[in-house]
Amino acid sequence: MPGSRFSFLLGAASNWLAFAATLAVGFFLTPFLIHALGKPRYDVWCIVEAILAYFTLLDMGIAACLVRFVAKHRAIANSDGVNRMASSCLALFLLAGILALAVGIPILFAFAPALDAKLNHSGDVLPFMLLMLANLAFTLPASVFPSILDGVEAFTAKSLVRLVALAFRTAGIVFAVNSGAELFPLAIVYTAVNIAEHTAFALLAWKRLPGLRFAVRFIDRATMKEVRTFSTDAFLAMLAGRITVQTGAIVVGAFLPGGQVTFFATAARLVDYAKTLLRTITTTLTPGVSAMEARGDHAGIARLFCNATRWLLYAALPVQVGLLLFGKPFLTRWVGAEFVGGSYPALVVLSFTLSLGIAQSVASRMLYGLGLLKWFARAALVEAALNVILMLALIGGWGVPGVAVAIALPNVLFCLFVLGFTLKKLRIPMRTYAGAWLKPLALLTIPITVWLSLGEATPDWPSLFGKGFAGMIPYAMAVCIVEGIASAVYAKFSNSVLPNRMNVAPSSIASS
């Protein structure tokens, strides 16, 4: 149905736009916060952020479970199933929020003296951490509403709320920092905006699902078993992800001199910005895959996997090359010349995983949508274990670049396993999947040739953006020609069948 196709594309685009705006704000706020707060206080910010990130594990995979089953039950018009799943997940989230406070408060009291000492005993570290913990405890049960919105594929409305919240949060952060370089006022801003944002999500969820009800009577053993079966594997995958992403900053802070956390966090954050920006698009695949499974469209799921991979590689590959070629002048302009020596080597290592990681992200969304998480989760745990072992082995001799290697190498192995596992489950021949890589790799020679011929960019925005666009414009034109986008747009306005030419549908993305 053309309307459904349009809604699918609009949802994906708006979801991407909201995350792109969030990353853009974070990108420009990073140097502002480093210089406004100072490196010692920003080090504490990074460490506290890494510690509190582990408490998000109390999500326990429930949010992913809710997205899958809301989409599945809604696809077959089972409103009672939606209410049973929503009520069960809310009850578990409420328990998780209480547990976060019970466990987190003593842990934060234990960490506070050491972190406060880094700031010459300023006294605002503990209040900052406690309020951020309370904010997290609220978010756990409140996250049932954005999960429901994802399940009903209300990405556009959800993204609009996030954009408005982002504007208020950014203005609040700038005001708080300019009023005094302290951490506690930042926690107040984050908490106030978070409460308002999730209140809006709740109102939207009830608007999209007027029959949505939360009640104890909807909680039954069968539903809890469904939640437990799916969320256990999702939780293990989340646990592995937290170890992989957050442990680096903690290990660097524990074993290396002050300031090294900021060097590592800057490189890791830049690569993570690029990955998150692209992975955001893949999150819209999960509810669609669940709905397709409910309708028995298994061939469509396979086509969706191959074509989504190809399109995301068109975006990921030039970004990966751009980080390598423009990394030094980019860091110089973004956060300062002193970061080039400390951050660029780690940036080079971490950026090598970008495109493969994005391809793996598409595969993982297929597995989440189908509920095939058992081996995915166990492979993620193996990756996390290798990550920690290599970190401890390499940090002494190699420092920050050693931590980057410890993250990148296990990640490559994990990505290869997930891709192979997904191909097996979807019964896609390797030669068919290889075709999803061939066109993006072939066209990548265009921006590489342009960028190398122009030489290294100078550390200023006009040079960086100018040379970047100089390579990307002919690349984008080549992609349009190869994929037939120009002819498809013409066909649309000629009352032809655009969806067949574009190969995009809510139930499948056909291979071209």
Question: How many whole angstroms separate alpha carbon 232 and alpha carbon 243?
Answer: 17
Question: How many whole angstroms separate alpha carbon 260 and alpha carbon 252?
Answer: 7
pLDDT, tens digit, for every residue of 309-358?
Answer: 999 999 999 999 999 999 999 999 888 888 888 889 999 999 999 999 99
Mean pLDDT, residues 250-273 taken together: 82
Mean pLDDT, residues 261-287 taken together: 83
pLDDT, tens digit, for every residue of 111-169?
Answer: 888 877 877 666 778 888 899 899 999 999 999 999 999 888 888 888 899 999 999 99
Query: 369: pLDDT confidence band, cut at 50, 70 and 90?
Result: confident
- Tell me, what's the pLDDT at 510? 32
pLDDT, mean over the chain: 84
Give domain limits for the chain. Answer: 1-219, 233-443
Residue 414 identity (one-letter amino acid): F
Mean pLDDT, residues 442-456 taken together: 94
Q: Tell me which of 42 and 73 has the higher pLDDT.
A: 73
- Tell me, what's the pLDDT at 506? 32
Environment class of 486 (CB within 10 Å of its CB; exposed 0-12, middle 13-18, buried 19+): exposed
CA dihedral of residues 327, 333, 334, 340 (deg, nearest 10): 50
- Tell me, what's the pLDDT at 503? 39
Query: 257: pLDDT confidence band, cut at 50, 70 and 90?
Result: confident
Mean pLDDT, residues 76-98 taken together: 91
Q: Is the pLDDT of residue 485 over 80?
A: no
- Tell me, what's the pLDDT at 412? 95
Q: What is the pTM of this model?
A: 0.71
- Tell me, what's the pLDDT at 487? 54
- Tell me, what's the pLDDT at 509? 33
Mean pLDDT, residues 16-43 taken together: 79
CA dihedral of residues 399, 246, 238, 80 (deg, nearest 10): -160
Buried b (16+ CB within 10 A) or exposed e, 291-317: bbbbeebeebbbbbbbbbbbbbbbbbb
Q: Is the pLDDT of residue 501 over 70?
A: no
